[in-house]
Amino acid sequence: MAPGTYYVWIGGSCDYGHEERCSGGAYIMQQNDKIIETYVISDDQTTEFRMILTVMIHAMSVIPEGADIVFLTNVSYILQNWDKDPTEKSANPDLIKECINMKGNYNSITVKLVPFHKYQLLPETHELARKAMINHRMI
C-alpha cells in the first residue's frame, strides 16, 4: 500500500434476537477512489461496537504509518469513543486503548459520521458484517 489518504468505510451488525448473541464487523477501504481491500470479522458473545473497533484496528495495522486515515461510519458510539481515554464505565476499554496507541503512527486519523443511505459503501459494510455473522452462526 502506498502512502496518502485512506478512506475506510466501517460498519457492523449484531443479532440481538438470540441468547448467544453474535456480531460482525466489516470495512471497505478506498484510496484514490478505488476499493483496495475489504475485511470482515465475526464472533460470539460480543457487540457490534466491539467488532467495529476491531476492524478499525485491523485497518490501522495494514495502512502504512504516516498516512492519513478517514473512517466513515453511521455509528455515533465510534465517533464519540474511539480515541477518548476510557473510564471504569467505558465499554471496550482494551480496544479503545489500542486505537489510541495506534493513532500516533499516522499523520491524521478522523472519524466522520455520515448518513447511512447517502453513500453506497456504508450499507455494503453492514451487509458484509451481517453475512459474516450469519456464516459464523452456521459453523
Tens-place pLDDT, residues 44-77? 888 889 999 999 999 999 999 999 999 999 999 9
Task: Between 17 and 22, name the one with better pLDDT.
Answer: 22
**Helices marked H in 39-108:** 48-62, 76-81, 93-103
120-135 confidence digits (pLDDT tens): 999 999 999 999 888 8
Structural domain count, the chain:
1
pLDDT attached to residue 47: 86
107 CB-near residues (< 8 Å, 6+ apart): 66, 67, 68
- How far is Cα 91 from Cα 77, in angstroms, rounded to an integer? 10
Domain that includes residue 51, residue range? 5-138
Which domain CATH number covers 88? 3.30.420.10
pLDDT attached to residue 17: 67
**Helices marked H in the chain:** 48-62, 76-81, 93-103, 121-138
Which three cell numbers, joined as nine digits, stand for 63? Answer: 495502512
| Entry pTM | 0.92
